[in-house]
Amino acid sequence: MDDFSRFILYAIFLKKETSWAHILGLQTVILKHGLPFSYYVDCHSIFRFVQGRDSFWRRHHQLTDGSSPQWKQVLDDCNVKVTYALFPQAKGKIERPYGWLQDRIIRTCVRENITDIRQALKLCSGQAQKVLLEELYRYNYRQVHSTTGEVPYFRFQRALKEKKSLFREFKIKPPYESPIKSGTFFV
């Protein structure tokens, strides 16, 4: 989600959350919208290696930030800053719209007779994914956001036009010629 406009840049249903799925999400966002200035994420192991809590005998934080998961390595290669939310309330700006979307998606799935989670996961590319995309379209392109007072898409486009966006053009670094080679994302 873009912080300024509240435009949701990427959403998809997956059976399992993986580093590779997040890297593919990064690829989609970067190729479509450009490189963001930063990503704001929680401390999930996909985003950050956390050794454990500090103790009297050992300072674990030295090991935590000394190791980079694959997802963070991709962002480091792209020169994108990563900021970690250290507690769930810090991501409220992001979590509120996602909670709202989840509620709408669940209600719509019930109306569409998608009542079993196995059925929804089986239909990730079918009915359930269609419901997600319809709700995402409505949120991004039709609904006036309660905080900004604007439709997220139009606010996002205005920020780009007025050069107030923190997204920058994606350029391929030599020796690479294409961002996609054999299904892998290169930067």
Residue 47 lies in a domain: yes
Q: Is the pLDDT of residue 26 over 60?
A: yes
Residue 154 lies in a domain: yes
Residue 36 lies in a domain: yes
**In 48-89, beta strands by DSSP E:** 81-84
> How buried is 101 (Cβ within 10 angstroms: 0-12 exposed, 13-18 middle, 19+ buried)?
middle
> Domain containing 84: what range?
19-91+148-185
Q: What is the mean pLDDT of residues 161-184?
A: 78
Instruction: State what percent of residues in the chain have pLDDT above 70.
Output: 77
Asked whether 121 and 91 are in contact (CB, 8 A), the reply is: no
Asked whether 11 and 25 are in contact (CB, 8 A), the reply is: no
Residue 111 lies in a domain: no
Residue 181 lies in a domain: yes
Residue 67 lies in a domain: yes
pLDDT reported for residue 119: 59
Residue 70 lies in a domain: yes
Q: Whose structure tokens read 């399992």?
A: 16
Residue 29 lies in a domain: yes
Torsion of CA 174, 179, 180, 185, to 10 degrees: 100
Torsion of CA 122, 124, 126, 128, to 10 degrees: 100
- Total structural domains within the chain: 1
For residue 90, what pLDDT band results from cuts at 50, 70 and 90?
Answer: low
